[in-house]
Copies of this chain bind each other. A is one copy, B any other.
Amino acid sequence: MSVSLEIFGDRWSLLIVRDLMVRGHRAYKEFLGSGEGIATNVLADRLRALEAAGIITTEAKEKDGRRVNYRLTEKGIDLAPVLLELLLWGAKHEETGAPCEIMAHMAANRAAVLAETRRRWSERDPAPLLPPFQSNPEDAQHRPPISKGSKSSRTKSKQPKGGSKP
């Protein structure tokens, strides 16, 4: 466990993995604008570290030569149970903005949620499994039930406090 925590024992690494896994993030700027505001140098550093640890890969492909595609490896997608338990723990014990019907469903159907997560990964399904939940529901614009996402068309607002935090 201490070896594992050397890799993602920090504020950001697991959030990056979560963004890859449950939101549909592929590109650098998507992580940058991802709610909680990681600094760009730290993001670059974490992506490098995650790649070095074999948790993500970076493919510079696609027709647009600027863009880089980040993707989870098998080792990375195997973190899904950890992320799920962390999400459920947070939903139970901290006030996240996560709707409790969804959380109850995920808690009762862990295996199905994990299977769906892995399916989305292997099929490169780009739709987010979960949207970014808002802490204060009045500024949530449209929240789909599950796996039918608002395509993450988020403005680049900085959200200095009380931002999204599933």
Q: Which residues of A contact B (CB under 8 A)?
A: 1-6, 9-12, 14-15, 18, 35-36, 54, 75, 78-79, 81-90, 92-96, 163, 165-166
Contact = CB atoms under 8 A, between A and B. Distances in A.
How many monomers of this chain does the complex have? 2
Main secondary structure, interface of A, reads: helix
A1 B82 contact: no
B86 A82 contact: yes
15 contacts: A1-B14, A1-B18, A1-B96, A2-B163, A3-B94, A3-B95, A4-B89, A4-B94, A5-B11, A9-B14, A10-B11, A54-B93, A82-B85, A82-B86, A84-B85
Contacts of A54: 93
B90 A4 contact: yes
Contacts of A9: 9-12, 14
Contact of A86 (B4, B12, B90): B4
